[in-house]
Amino acid sequence: MSKADFYMWLPRVTTLLFIGAFGASVGSLINVLVYRLPRGLGVVTPASRCPSCDTKLTWRENIPIFGWLILRGRCRFCQSRISPEYPIVESIVALLFMVFWGLWYVVPEGAGFWASIRPEWALNDARAAFPMTTWPAMVVLLALVGSLVAMTIVDAKTYTIPLVLAWVPLGLGIIGHTGHALWFELSHGVMTQTAPGKWIMPDGARWISEDGWQWTIPTPGAGDWRWIGAALGGVGGLVVANALVAFGLIRRSFADYDEWEAKELAARQVERPGDGVAEPGDAQTATSRKSDDESAAEMWIQYPHARREMVKEMAFLAPVVGMAIIGAWLLNPAGGPLAQTGQAPLWLTVLSGSLLGALAGGGVVWAVRILGSIAFGKEAMGLGDVHLMAAVGACLGWIDPVIAFFGAAFVGVAWALLGAMVGGGFKRAMPYGPFLAIATLMVLLGKPWIELLLGRLGGASGPLNLP
């Protein structure tokens, strides 16, 4: 590499290392969320403390990754063992942030397959040391990746997903993408749509972008007012449905689950062998407690009234579906009462694409949840999975969460095969949330393969070759 090439790539590599350090810091925050949210503790207060000796930790102990290494996995105050999960999570998040940033902005255009992973919207900043144009979309993506890691860990441990972990990327996706589009139009003038997802920016009398601005949110029938009406109507239906629940006109599903679980656990409690008093280090007692914890975590599958509860959830979804249909009819250019025929502004198209992504991502999981619960008489999927995929859709559009949902089944099969071959922790029943999160990351990183495969399945001719 020549000195000129070295100096050209040095800013990009420096930025990439900074992103890795930032990712490690996000991983440290994820460790806090994973520990505190299931316990109902505040995220900001109390300050970080050793769970063994309750000593307040200083900044030295809170350095991501290196703090654990310097301490050699032991508390500096009481020498209690610190779980290696902390540096592992921080390292994983740092690596993911660096992978996405590197593929999006560092890999050169002539890098073949690796360059083809980069989405079209990132091409505007592919030659820049820092993405001055597309950084809001990248922030949304990294927030989603961090949230997926957090939801995966919490769900794997507790069989629940704290909804705030899904609401943050969901809201950020909608606000971030829409605000980005609005800022672009205010800065560069009204966009002209030349193809689905492609907009050209005027700067006075000249075009400042030959190829146009590729937007990250795919909207079915981009610019079609029917889809805009469906998106706005569907979200309005969610507001109405939640209002009906708040006023008691629709009953919340699984409202009696906690009461049922308490009674079921009490009925299953049996006296253990011996005198009923165990020593703190008794291995049999530890095993029994672990078995009780796993039984409580998996009891959601055994709730006997799942079919009944699905009727309540269908009543909840009825306003959503109904108002989405009404919205599409009202704005239908072919004769709706509020028919619109002109080009929709970019910010509104992007907003509808993000909302449709949330509705489609959450809707496909909810539909399977309802149908599966009715078919098998057990809760098929958790509502946390619905919120997870709604967040994916709000950040990535409607296509990726649909593909990821079906891809998660293959991840689940792979987990089952590992359990059969390796045993150990892989034999443990796993909730579906981690499979959905892993499949989402696989979709992001495997877009060229997926597009080629879907093209072949759709009847496209020619060899299945990658760039």
pLDDT single digits (tens) 144-168? 999 999 999 999 998 889 999 999 9
pLDDT for the residue numbered 77: 81
- On whether residue 114 sits in a domain, the answer given is no
pLDDT confidence bin for 421, thresholds 50/70/90: confident
Q: Render the burial of 398-435: b for 16+ CB within 10 Å, e for the rest.
A: bbbbbbbbebbeebbeebeeebeeeeeeeeeebbbbbb
How far is residue 310's CA from residue 253's CA, in Å, rounded to a whole number? Answer: 7
The mean per-residue pLDDT over the stretch 191-206 comes to: 62
When pLDDT is averaged across residues 28-47 and rounded to a whole number, the result is 87
How high is the pLDDT of residue 282?
Answer: 42
Count of domains forming the chain: 1
CB within 8 A of 70, min separation 6: which ones? 60, 63
Structure confidence at residue 67 as a pLDDT band (50, 70, 90): confident
Please report the pLDDT score of residue 129 as a whole number: 66
Structure token pair of residue 252:
């919340």
pLDDT interval class at 255 (50, 70, 90): confident
Look at residue 393 and tell me if it is in a domain: no
The predicted model scores a pTM of 0.86
Q: In this model, does residue 123 exceed pLDDT 50? A: yes
208 domain-assigned: no
Residue 87: inside a domain, yes or no? yes
In a domain, 127, yes or no: no
**Domain interval for residue 79:** 1-92
pLDDT of residue 42: 84
Of 159-168, 276-285, 366-375, which gets the smallest average pLDDT?
Answer: 276-285
User: Is residue 432 in some structural domain?
Assistant: no
Between residues 120 and 279, the one the model is more confident about = 120
In a domain, 47, yes or no: yes
Sequence-distant (6+) residues with CB within 8 A of 366 are 313, 317, 383, 386
Higher pLDDT, 276 or 64: 64
pLDDT attached to residue 324: 96
Q: Which residue has the higher pLDDT, 261 or 410?
A: 410
Count Cβ atoms below 10 Å from residue 441 Cβ, excluding itself.
18
φ and ψ of 257, to 5 deg: -65, -45
**Quick check: is 338 in a domain?**
no
Is residue 50 classed as helix, strand or coil in its secondary structure?
coil
Q: Which residue has the higher pLDDT, 276 or 161?
A: 161
